[in-house]
Structure 1
Amino acid sequence: MVVTSFAQTPGYEFTTVVSHQATPVKDQGSTGTCWCFATASFMESELLRMGKGEYDLSEMFIVRQKYMNQMEDNYLRRGKGSIGEGSLAHTFKNAYKKAGTVPEEVYTGLLGDNKDHNHGALSRYLKALVDANIESKKRTPQFDALINNLFDIYLGKVPEKFTYKGKEYTPQSFTESLGLNMDDYVELTSFTHKPYYETFSPEVPDNWENQPMYNLPLDELIGAIDYALNKGYTVCWDGDVSEQGFSFKNGIAINPQVEDVKDYSTTDRARFEKMPKYERMDEVFKFKHPYPEINVTPEIRQDGYEKFVTTDDHLMHITGIVKDQNGTKYYITKNSWGADSNKSGGYL
């Protein structure tokens, strides 16, 4: 089944501006692999857009190669790199270029009776092996064998050949059959501490590859997102879901204006003018109906980033645009916490 719609949030009346095809919502489980699930979903939508049909690509095949890339980077940095689970969309691209991909049914990353992803033990054993390798100051075939055995135990062995829809493939030949070119996709960002219209490597923990991104003024970044969506493309998005206005349970994320209520409806304004700020916050975050939103400027965004309030903590897949009854724009966003994780089928 291909998902093309979203559920309404009570109190909000959404009108679809544009909505694109996406594959069913998956569940990353107890792992920090949102970057892979979001980018795989984006690539699956690309295959739909290109008329190649519906695919379910293996996330864990990419995750395994990501760890291989990460361990080499960490070793050459004398153990000062990152071997954590978090990464960004370009990590998928880099792993894809190196190892290719396979269908989910060929490499699920789930062994035995396991139905949910959980990389807690894998991460702990990986760190122990990596730390020992750094201490030895030598990369050996024995270490490579240990690492591959670890991944085989927790994720499964990488197939040399497999049959998919009646045809035999290797990971490389299957990847070639998809026709996806990772160099066709660019990463954009917006920060004021670096020059606009140039590339730089954003200083966020998950950018362990120090990948450069093209820096745009905030309004142009939003314009690029809207342009892509209106031209039939989807967008892989990385951002902050730690704020109070992010309510996955309610299937919505808001950034309401509570300091100045002049734009509120007559009824709401009369109530809110009598409230202290904390009561206003409590009221708007009941998510009963839309309130006017903050006009986020480049300065507001930068201030949040430099105060460590706005963080890099989750990737999701933007598949469309809607507007509420007040004309406020929202992005239809596919999450990777399972289709049954909220009333919106895993979407916001």
Structure 2
Amino acid sequence: MKKILVSLGCLCFTTLSFSQHYTFETVTDLESTPVISQGITGTCWSFSTSSFLESEIMRITGKEIDISEMYNVRNTYPKKAWNYVMRQGKAQFSQGGLAHDVINSVERYGLVPQSVYSGLKEGQKKHNHIEMVSVLEAMLKVYVENPAKTLSGDWKAAIESVLDVYLGPKVDEFTYEGKKYSPQSFLDMTKIQPEDYVSVTSFLHEPFYTSFVLDIPDNFSNGSFYNLKLDEFIQVIDHALENGYTLGLDCDVSEPTFSQKHGVAVIPENEFEKKAILEDIKQEKSITPEYRQQEFENFHTTDDHLMHIIGKVKDQEGHIYYKVKNSWGTDKTRVGDSGGYIYMSVPYMKLKAISVMLHKDGLSKDIRKKLNL
């Protein structure tokens, strides 16, 4: 694990070169755990937010703890199933979720380490939820159709049983580093307080400085987001990183200029430079709040993927990029490239970031005052 903490105003001159044309210099690099893979699953929301909480545990306690992503997933699926059935199939049931779903799980069910709950069967090395989700979907459709005209009270237990088979039963007590814990006492040991975490976004269809339920498909749990002006949204990210706080990120990654292979995410000014900009610095588009809103309402910006913002770099021309930890492993990058990290430009963040999650203490006093936090 890379352990580099950059104090305020201090610039680390480590040079990172991952292509023929881009050369990056570290500005801020906060502590995080190694890049891992979510496998063949749609559980980026748990991998990214678990990574975020691991950095929070390091920031708060100095402890490096690998927490279980699948424990959060195991606790969230029954909530998804309930939502789907109670809305009589008029809601989305999918593998997707958002950062606050992990926080909700942590608040109710605590935390456990990866060593205690991996979600993998013996001999299994990679997560694959295709069969599990297909079985769950088929069951839920039957419950919604209700062929017996009266739902059995056992349907929820049946869902739990399927999750037990594929992911493993819930954990009540375990031993970690020679000490016995429950999930709740383990959470207490990490010093994570779920109520301390907030999500912020920036859209024009809701009043600024208020919270609202963001209408995106994966927000099945109706989580609320604080709405800021676009420049303030970017300022929140910058202020947090400069003061030692990482952030969870919900983002659109469907653009051809988001490239794990090249390790960059950029928005070219000229459409014909979409390929060239992946390897060479080009002029990027100026992003206005109006253009951001237009792309969101046209479904050109969607909540595709969640990741973890852990730092900032700059290229040889002085342009700033955010260092974003991904959960697609490191095997999709070329040798000598970013190793599972994406360097995301400010224009890309302005246009394609749906929201960020952070500890409320990572907000500036001015923003906290505007949000009444």
- Provide TM-score, normalisation by structure 1: 0.89
| 1:288 maps to amino acid | E
Counterpart of 2:221, as a letter, is E
- For the structure 1 residues 68 and 254, does the alpha-carbon distance in structure 2 shift closer, same or farther, using more than 3 Å as the test? same
Displacement after TM superposition at 1:139 (Å) = 5.6
The correspondence for 1:210, drawn from 222, 238, 253, is 222
Separation in 2, partners of 1:211, 1:66 = 14
Selected match of 1:105 from 89, 98, 115: 115
- Aligned CA RMSD, in angstroms, stands at 1.7
Secondary structure of the structure 1 residue equivalent to 2:132? helix
Residue equivalent to 2:174: 162
Is 1:147 aligned to residue 156 of structure 2? no
Paired AA for residue 184 in structure 1: D
1:19 to partner: Cα distance = 1.0
CA offsets 1:24-67 (integer angstroms, 9 cap, x no match):
11110111000110000000000111134101110111001111
How do 1:20-169 and structure 2 match up within 5 A? 20-136=30-146, 140-169=152-181
- CA displacement at 1:138 relative to structure 2: 5.4
Q: Write the distance in 2 (CA, Å) between the matches of 1:240 and 1:191.
A: 15
Larger relative contact order, structure 1 or 2 (CA cutoff 8 Å, min sep 6): 1
| Equivalent in 235, 238, 253 of residue 226 of structure 1 | 238
| Cα drift, residue 148 of structure 1 | 2.0
Deviates more, 1:67-76 or 1:49-58: 67-76
Instruction: Give the drift of 1:146.
Output: 1.8
Given candidates 279, 282, 286, the residue that maps to 1:291 is: 282
Mapped partners of 2:16, 2:129: distance in 1? 31
Q: What's the offset of the Cα at 1:121?
A: 0.5
Match of 1:312 in 2: 303
Work out the CA distance in 2 between the residues paired with 1:94 and 1:77: 20
Conserved in 1, the CA contact under 8 Å of 2:15 and 2:24? Answer: no
Deviation sequence 1:113-160 (CA, Å, 0-9, x none): 211111000001111222222333656453233222211111112222
Q: Are residues 149 and 281 of structure 1, via their aligned partners in 2, closer, same or farther at CA, if it must alter by over 3 Å?
A: closer
Query: Given the superposition, is the C-alpha separation of residues 3 and 128 from structure 1 closer, same or farther in structure 2, using an over 3 Å criterion?
Result: farther
More strand by share: 2
SS at match of 1:187: strand
CA contact (8 A) 1:69 1:95 kept: no
**Residue identity matched to 2:60:** M
**Partner residue in 2 for 1:8:** 17
- Structure 2, unmatched stretches of 5+, are 5-13, 343-373
Alpha-carbon separation, structure 2, partners of 1:85 and 1:249: 24
Aligned residue for 1:214, secondary structure, equals strand
State the percentage of identical aligned residues.
44
Question: Whose radius of gyration is greater, 1 or 2?
Answer: 1
**1:75 offset after TM fit, Å?**
2.5
Structure 2 Cα separation of the partners of residues 19 and 142 of structure 1: 50
Q: Is contact 1:198-1:214 (8 Å) kept?
A: yes
For residues 219-265 of structure 1, the C-alpha deviation after alignment (integer angstroms, 9 at most, x for no partner) is 0000011000000000101111111211110111111212xxxxxxx
Match of 1:268 in 2: none
| CA apart distance, 1:102 | 0.6
Moved more, 33-42 or 137-146: 137-146
SS at match of 1:336: coil
Question: 1:344 corresponds to which residue?
Answer: 338
Tell me if structure 1 keeps the 8 A contact 2:61–2:190.
Answer: no
